Amino acid sequence: MDRFLEYIILHEKEGVKYDKDCVLLLTDIPLWETTLGIIKDEDLYIESEKYGKENEQHITLLYGLLTGKYNDDDVEKILSDYTKINFSIKGIGIFENPDKPYDVVKFDIVSDDCGKVNEALKQLPYENDFPDYHPHMTLAYVKKGLGNKYKKDFSNVYDDYSTKVKLSKSTGEKVVFDLMDNMIQQEITTSAMIAAPPGDYSFYQKEKDKPK
């Protein structure tokens, strides 16, 4: 398994406490439950009621933001350039590690947007020893050696997008940003510019200021 991917997955597990902050793209894929249903319960790796199937759909955008070293507004400003984040699912793959008692079944993701957001977020204070970014969506943890039975390449790539980004902090605080707000703001700005195109309106103010 790629060391960076292992690093991220270790911090995706339910019940594992973060020591740094994480930014996630929340997704709502219609075929999620159908896909999870393919994975047999008897194949799942479960330890102390952890692991198993992943209930929260998400793509990690960046793990490693340093708690207290940045503001929520800093993240919001970076996200302000986006009204949605596009991604494609090209198949189901696995992560394997000879030192772990499980295989990780995941969606293989292709996304220029996720890569751009990842690079932008790295402008903020963060610690991450692994520079390569590999977007993915964890589906489930299965017993070692059983992951290969779920690998599948899609004949047609599934394209989707999301407008919800969650900042999950080591303190337990969670902040959700809705990129639809950026779209609304852009439409308001565009409408205002059309209604009042750039120009010199000082004469109008002078007329308003004339004594009556």
Residue-wise pLDDT for 162-211, tens only, equals 999 999 999 999 999 999 988 776 666 566 566 556 665 554 444 445 55
DSSP of 108-144, one letter per residue? EEE-HHHHHHHHHHTTSSB--S------EEEEEEEET
The DSSP output letter for 54 is -
CATH of the domain at 42: 3.90.1140.10
Per-residue pLDDT, 206? 47
Tens digit of each residue's pLDDT (9 = 90 or more) over 2-47: 444 554 555 555 445 558 899 999 999 988 899 899 999 999 999 9
1 has a pLDDT exceeding 50: no
* pTM as predicted: 0.79
In tens, the pLDDT along 77-120 reads 999 999 999 999 999 999 988 888 999 999 999 999 999 999 99
Residues spanned by the domain of 120 = 3-209
Q: How many domains does the chain have?
A: 1
